Amino acid sequence: MESVDYPYVLALIDEFPSAHYKIVAVSSSDPIYSQVFDSRSGRWELKGQFPGKFSYLGNAVFLDGLLFVLSHEPDHLLTFDPIGGDWNLVDVAMPRVVCSHILDYEDRLFLVGGVEVLECIAGVGIWELDLPKKEWRSICFMPDEFFRVFRHGRLTQFRFSTVARRGIVCFFNNLYTTVLMFDLPARRWWWPLMLPHAWGRRFWFGHAIEPRIDPLKGSDGRRTEDKDDRESE
């Protein structure tokens, strides 16, 4: 990785069904420098920069050859081309939400966020991006009976995080071991089984992955690639 100020990984781009992948990392400086690791070459390469007038970048989703990225303070939707290194600001007004998270399903982009009233989260909503109309279209909100339990009765200092994969969305309360699931295509909410062990802690976080992701099979990706090459001979 090139020497930049306080770099952190923004996204892992899995090039399924091949064994190749890319890792996108950005700096915490102004301007923000981006660099990409390509498993084909086994090297990092500096690709693009943009003014870092944000407190930080949120999560990212790879869709239609572009990496869609949330920025915070101010909140915007950005795109990054991992091949050309170009950054662009998407011309769409963002809903005024907190704890925001983007996800994709069937080549569509969705936004999850908490709506505040008097600096307290009063509801959790989901929006779908309508790019031709340059707007986020409201899909649904977390039902009140689920929301009341999910927030654990807290009106202040309530924050949540989200992970999602293939239309299944997992919400978890940042202060308690409370998890709520949502099936996006079926519009179904449900409580999963309670966590068997909390290890005596209430502060926790998670990340959704698929066991099939090829980069996880080898230390640097080459082990998987070599195996695939032998099988194709």
In this predicted structure, what is the pLDDT of residue 214?
A: 45
Angstrom distances, CA of residue 73 to CA of 56, 70, 179: 7, 10, 27
DSSP line for 131-165: TTTTEEEEEEE--HHHHHHHTTT-SSS--EEEEEE
217 phi/psi in degrees, rounded to 5: -80, -25
- Residue 51, judged by CB atoms within 10 A of its CB (0-12, 13-18, 19+), counts as exposed
DSSP element (H, E) containing 223: helix 222-232
pLDDT along the chain (233 residues), means of 10: 74 88 88 92 92 84 94 92 94 94 96 92 96 95 95 79 91 86 96 66 53 43 42 46
Q: What pLDDT sits at residue 65?
A: 93
Q: Which two tokens stand for residue 113?
A: 């966020």
Where residue 64 falls (left for φ over 0; alpha for ψ -120 to 50; beta otherwise) is: left
Which pLDDT score, from 0 to 100, does residue 141 have? 97
Q: With contact defined as beta carbons under 8 Å apart, do 188 and 146 qualify?
A: no
State residue 198's pLDDT score.
55
Residue-range domain boundaries for the chain: 55-232
